[in-house]
Each structure stands twice: as structure tokens, then as C-alpha cells.
Structure 1
Amino acid sequence: MNDNVIYTQSDAGLNRFFAKIYGLVGMGIGLSAFVSYLMLYVFTDNLIASYSNPVIYYGACILELVLVFSASSAARKNTPAALPLFLVYSALNGFTLSFIIATYAQAVVLQAFLSAMGVFLVMALIGVVVKRDLSGIAKAAMALLIGVIIASVLNIFFANGTMSYIISLLSVAIFSGLIAYDNQLIKRVYQSTGGRTTDGWAISMALNLYLDFINLFLSLLRLFGDND
């Protein structure tokens, strides 16, 4: 990443770095929630019509993959395109999330969202406070995530309820661990750069945390929905 200085090395500088990142995370989640709301309550007819044309949903999912990799790459290079790509991805993710949220009762969605917020805050605090290196947890979480992805693909064909429940539980554990690790990583990035962090770093960290939260929310939604 480029060396343009945004923060100075101090506790105040670290706090500003966290504030910058969480401001972006909040912006991304807020944008996703707003687009989902529009699809669910304003453009309801369009959403219903889209269910009869799965190409729209799957096309949006493919575009999401392109955008998230593009945003991550742009953030690492600290290019001006990083922030617009992150925001466009967040908006598109809100569109695809509306297809999923529409299949659950409002009370279940609210329960999952509030639970995700609670877990996120607790794990973020752990990541900031704990001095133990959480890299091992992150490696284990990524290894489990590969297994969960494979199991999820297989379960599409078998549609096993028990397997779906286990996958959701594992996903909650995986993304909870990643939330703690990513928050610890923020401190490490700040310290390793001597406080010379860039907007690219902030966007990259925000994208990681945004993905952690969204996946945690979806995992909890599936758990609560199965029990509804």
C-alpha cells in the first residue's frame, strides 16, 4: 500500500483508526439494510417477480464475487476505487440479502440481527483486549470454513436438516473467531506501520469485518429460522 500518512502512532491515533474502520463498517451494513428494506417494502412486486427468474439472483451473486475481490484488491493497492467498490458491493449485497430475508418472519430476522450485533461486539472487544496471538484461531477458522463450504454445497443435493443445523453452528463459531482476530489484526497493522496507515488499510479491514458480520447474521438467521 502507498505510504500517505493518515494517522500518527499514539493511542489517540489508534482510536481514530478504529473509528475510521467502524465508520466504514457501519456505512456498509447500513447501506445493505437500506437496500434490503427498499426491496422488501417498497419494491415488493419487483422482488416477487424476481423469484420467478432465478437468473437475476444468481447473476447478482456472481457480480458480488467480482466486486468483493475487486474491492479487496483496490484496498490493498490503496486506489481511489476502493471505497466506491466497497459501497457498491454493500448495496448489491443488500439486494441479494432481501431474497433470503423475505423467507423468514420479521421477528426471526430481528432476533438474528440483534444477536449478531451482540456477538460481534463481544468478540470485537475480546480481539482488542486479549494479548494472546489469535493467528492460530484464524487459521483453524479458515480451515473449518473450507469444510463448511464443501459441506454446504453437498447439502444442497441431500437437504439434510441436521447437517444444515451443524453447518450453521460451525459458521457462528467460525465467524465469531474471525471477528476477534480481525480486530486484533487492526492493532497489529497500526503498530507494524508505525501509525502510518492509509485509507486502503481502513477499507480492507472494514471489508473483512463487514463480511464477518453479514455471514454471522446469516448463520444465526438459519439457526433461528430452523427453530421457528
Structure 2
Amino acid sequence: MANWSDPTPNVSPFGAASATRTEAYDAGLRRYMLSVYNYMLSGVLLTGIVALGFVMSGAAVQVFGGPGILKWVITLAPLGFVFGMSFGQSRMSAGTLQAMFWGFAIAMGLSLSTIFLRYTPVAIAQSFFATSAAFAGLSLYGYTTKRDLSAMGTFLIMGLVGLIVASLLNLFFQSGMLELVISFVGVLIFAGLTAYDTQRTKSMYAHVAGTGQEQHFVIMSALNLYLDFINMFLFILRLFGNRN
């Protein structure tokens, strides 16, 4: 029997509940993404402070300017942290993974202190702000676009492998032109990866929400975006930075 007294007969009685669930999901997603960006930005800030402090103390010149194995340990330490976190995250507690992330940021600061020995402070500042603006725009695009970027991500990862191979080859050839091409391509690859990783981070929330593993994925997503930012910054610095 039709309910003639109901002014909204076609509205589902579950509409309010559905709207509440949608609002709760959106709020959870915002908290999740905010946590990712907080970790990522805090890691970048910590890296910068450590790098600047290491240089101002004079230790960077002593370590990287002379012989010894310590400079190689410092240079390769961030790679060890990345591999440890990537392959050991399923066996680590959230606290351990968090400590590894901060340790990685410190190790990167020690390793990246060499840029203060090679480039002028103005060049570093300009490259940093240019990277920050580009990262913000690309990450916003990755978050808001309706386009599926997974195919682009596969292409970019393949390009990244080629970039690493080319960089290793140039260690032997020492070609200025090849270095310029590598830097230009590197900016493009990590610009694309910024958008791709942002979209992947957003879509990942649907799979981890309520599982108790959110913190693990927050930290690992922050690590991915941190690497995108730092690598894009370094390639921009190599392209446009004035050397000392």
C-alpha cells in the first residue's frame, strides 16, 4: 500500500546510514593521508637539520674529504634502511618500523650533507622550494584525479630501472651530456612517481582500514613519498644548481 503521507517515498530508509558510513570513511581517509604527510615532511625536515649540522660541525669535510671506509658506510646506510624496512615490515612492530624510518632520515641527512660541499646555499634553497611546489601540485593531482595511474606507475618503475643502469654506467664514462640527460629524465620520472604513489597511498586505505596495520602502511607510504621528494630535489639541483 502506498504511503501517501510520506513526502519522500523514493528515499531509501538506509540513506542516512549510508551517508554516515561515507562521512566516517572520508574522515578516516583524511586522517590517514595527514599522518602520511606528517611523517614524510618530518622526515625531510630531520634530514635537512642533520645534513646542515653535519656540515657546520666540520665533520662532513673530514669524513668525505679524506680516505677511509666511513664515507662509504654513511653513503650506503640509507639503502640498507630502505631494504630492511621494505623486506622486514611484515615482521616488525609499528614502533620498530617508526624507529627505522627516523634512523633512515638521519642516515640520509649524513649522506646528503655532501650537497652543501658541492653547491651554493642559494642553489640548494632554490631547488628545495622548486621541488616543494612541484611536489605539492603533483601530489594534489594524484589525490584528486579520477584517472587510474597504475599503468603509468609500471612504466615509471621500468624507467627508474633504466635510470639506475644509466647512472651506474656514467660512473665509468663521466659524460657531462649523459649526466644532463639522466638528471632531466630523473626529474620527469620522480614527478610521475609522486602522483602515482599519492594515488596508490589513497587507494590503499580501503584495504587497511580497520585491520590494525594502518600505522605500518602510513610509515611505508611516507617513505615512498619521501624518496620521491628527495630524488626529485637532487635531480633538479643537478640540473640548475650552481656549484661551489
Alignment TM-score, normalising by the size of structure 2: 0.84
Q: What is the CA–CA distance in structure 1 between the aligned matches of 2:104 and 2:73, rounded to whole Å?
A: 14
Over the matched positions of the two proteins, sequence identity in percent amounts to 32
* 1:49 partner amino acid: Q
User: How much does 1:136 deviate?
Assistant: 1.1
Q: Partner residue of 2:199?
A: 184
> Number of matched residues?
219
Higher relative contact order (CA closer than 8 Å, sequence separation 6+) = 1
Aligned partner (choices 63, 83, 87) of residue 77 of structure 2:
63
1:20-169 map, 5 Å: 20-41=35-56, 43-44=57-58, 46-50=59-63, 51-53=65-67, 55-77=69-91, 79=93, 80-169=95-184
- Write out the 4+ residue segments of structure 1 that deviate beyond 3 Å after TM superposition: 73-78, 193-197
Shift in alpha-carbon separation, 1:146–1:54, aligned structure 2, 3 A: farther
Distance change >3 Å, CA 201–CA 76, structure 1 → 2: farther
Structure 2 counterpart SS, 1:131: coil
Q: Residues 50-81 of structure 1: CA distance to partner in whole angstroms, max 9, x if unpaired?
A: 11125222112222222111123344445131
Q: Deviations over 1:180-228 (max 9, x none)?
A: 0111011211123355451001001001001111111111110012699
Please tell me the root mean square deviation across aligned C-alpha atoms, in Å: 1.9
Which deviations, in whole Å up to 9, do the C-alpha atoms of 1:91-145 show, x marking residues without a partner?
Answer: 0100010013321011110111011101100110110011111011111111111
Larger gyration radius, structure 1 or structure 2: 2
- Structure 2 gaps of 5+ residues are 1-22
Q: Distance in 1 between matches of 2:83 and 2:195?
A: 22
